[in-house]
Structure 1
Amino acid sequence: MFTGRQFSYVFAILILSLFSVFVIVEIVDKTRLSDPEYAASQSEVKAYNQEIPTVFIHGWKGSERSFQTMFNRFSAHYHGPERAFVVRIDPDSSVTVSGNMKNKRIPLIQILFTDNHASMEQQGIWLRSAFRVLKAKGIDRMNVVSHSMGGKAFTCYLETARNPNAYPKTEKFVAIAAPFDWIGGPNKTDFSLGQLKSNSALYKYRARIPHDLHVLAIAGVNNRHTESDGVVRLQSAFFGKYFFNPKYYSEKIIYGRNAQHSKLHENPAVDQLIADYLWKIKPKG
Structure 2
Amino acid sequence: MKKSRLIIGLMALLLGLTGCGKLGGSSSSADLPNASKYEPTLFFHGWGSSTHAEDQMAHSLVNAGLTKTIVRATVSTQGKVSLSGHFHEGDYHPIVEVGFEGNRNSSSRQWGRWAKATVVKLQQTYHTKSFNVVGHSMGNMAIMYYLKDNDRRLPRLRKQVDIAGHFNGILGMNDEPNRMKLNREGKPEKMQPEYQGLLSLRRTLPKNQIAVLNIYGDKGDGSHSDGSVSNASSKSLRYLMAGRAKSYQERRIVGAKAQHSRLHDNVQVDRLLIRFLRH
Q: Same fold (TM over 0.5)?
A: yes
User: In the alignment, is residue 98 of structure 1 matched against residue 84 of structure 2?
Assistant: yes
Q: Secondary structure at 1:126's aligned position in 2?
A: helix
User: In the alignment, is residue 236 of structure 1 matched against residue 225 of structure 2?
Assistant: no
Distance in structure 2 (CA, Å) of the matches to 1:182 and 1:197: 7
Contact 2:135 2:162 in 1 (8 A): yes
Equivalences for 1:128-139 in 2 at 5 Å?
Answer: 128-137=116-125, 138-139=127-128
1:123 to 102, 105, 111: 111
Equivalences for 1:136-285 in 2 at 5 Å?
Answer: 136-137=124-125, 138-161=127-150, 163-165=151-153, 167-182=154-169, 186-189=173-176, 190-192=179-181, 193-196=188-191, 200-206=195-201, 207-212=203-208, 213-246=210-243, 248-280=247-279
Shift of 1:257: 1.5
User: In the alignment, is residue 87 of structure 1 matched against residue 84 of structure 2?
Assistant: no
User: Structure 2 vs 1, CA of residues 89 and 156 (structure 1 numbering), >3 Å: closer, same or farther?
Assistant: same
Shift of 1:201: 2.9
Shift of 1:87: 0.9
Distance in structure 1 (CA, Å) of the matches to 2:99 and 2:163: 17
Q: Which amino acid aligns with 2:226?
A: D
Instruction: Indicate the residue corresponding to 1:32 in structure 2.
Output: none
User: Structure 2 vs 1, CA of residues 122 and 199 (structure 1 numbering), >3 Å: closer, same or farther?
Assistant: closer
Contact 2:57 2:265 in 1 (8 A): yes
Equivalences for 1:27-106 in 2 at 5 Å?
Answer: 52-76=39-63, 78-103=64-89, 104-106=91-93
Shift of 1:51: 6.3
Q: Which amino acid aligns with 1:96?
A: S
Shift of 1:179: 0.5
Contact 2:145 2:198 in 1 (8 A): no
Distance in structure 2 (CA, Å) of the matches to 1:275 and 1:135: 25
> Could you give the per-residue CA deviations for residues 202-221 of structure 1, whole angstroms, max 9, x where no partner exists?
44322222222211100011
Segments of structure 2 that go 5 or more residues without pairing to the other structure are 1-34, 182-187
Tell which has more relative contact order, 1 or 2 (C-alpha 8 A, sep 6+): 2
Q: Which amino acid aligns with 1:270?
A: V
> Could you give the per-residue CA deviations for residues 228-253 of structure 1, whole angstroms, max 9, x where no partner exists?
11111110111000110346111000
Distance in structure 1 (CA, Å) of the matches to 2:180 and 2:194: 10
User: Structure 2 vs 1, CA of residues 265 and 145 (structure 1 numbering), >3 Å: closer, same or farther?
Assistant: same
Contact 2:180 2:233 in 1 (8 A): no
Distance in structure 1 (CA, Å) of the matches to 2:269 and 2:149: 29
Cα root mean square deviation, aligned = 2.3
Identity rate, percent: 28
Q: TM-score, normalised by structure 2?
A: 0.76
